[in-house]
Amino acid sequence: LETLVVLGANAAEISGSIGDLQVETLLNEDWELGMSTSIKKGLEHLLVLDPGLRAVILLLCDQPFVTKNTISRLVETRRASGKLIVASEYSDTFGTPALFSREVFKELLALTGDRGAKNLINDKKNKNVSFIASPEAAFDIDTKEDLAGLTGA
């Protein structure tokens, strides 16, 4: 599995915190145009590296309790269900981390502005999406208060 981290706002600061993790980083200079630009830039880059790419998993950096097990369950559910998308379900909603099969890459690449992949999951929800229970994905860090709650600071 290839891990690509797409950086936008505060890229230099964030890049420094990645440390010696075995990941590739990619700068999205268009980050101000919305989340869709990071999704597209990342997917386009991965397709250059591997034109036969069969699936991608989108994760957000602000979900600290997502684990390797969460990712494994996405892959296992895709294999078992054959669905085009496997998304996480938590706190009466759904979203990332989520696996997207090659058949929906064109739709990911067509996203615009701050429209993330959640709308694509919702569009396909009735017949082409499986869900995994991922309570660990419910907590995300959106504010300094969220971060303080995580670190106890």
Ramachandran sector of residue 53 (left: φ over 0; alpha: ψ -120 to 50; beta: rest): beta
pTM of the full structure: 0.89
**Structural domains in the chain, sorted by start:** 4-151 (3.90.550.10)
- pLDDT tens across 16-70, in order? 888 788 899 999 999 999 999 999 999 999 999 999 999 999 998 888 889 999 9
Tell me the pLDDT band of 153, cut-offs 50, 70 and 90. Answer: low
* DSSP for residue 20: T
- pLDDT tens across 93-137, in order? 899 999 999 999 999 999 998 878 988 898 877 789 999 999 898
- pLDDT at residue number 1: 61
DSSP string over 26-93: EE-TTGGG-HHHHHHHHHHHHHHH-TT--EEEE--TT-TT--HHHHHHHHHHHHHH--SEEEEEETTE
* DSSP for residue 137: G
Compute the distance between CA of residue 150 and CA of residue 153 in angstroms, rounded to an integer. 8
Compute the distance between CA of residue 134 and CA of residue 141 in angstroms, rounded to an integer. 16
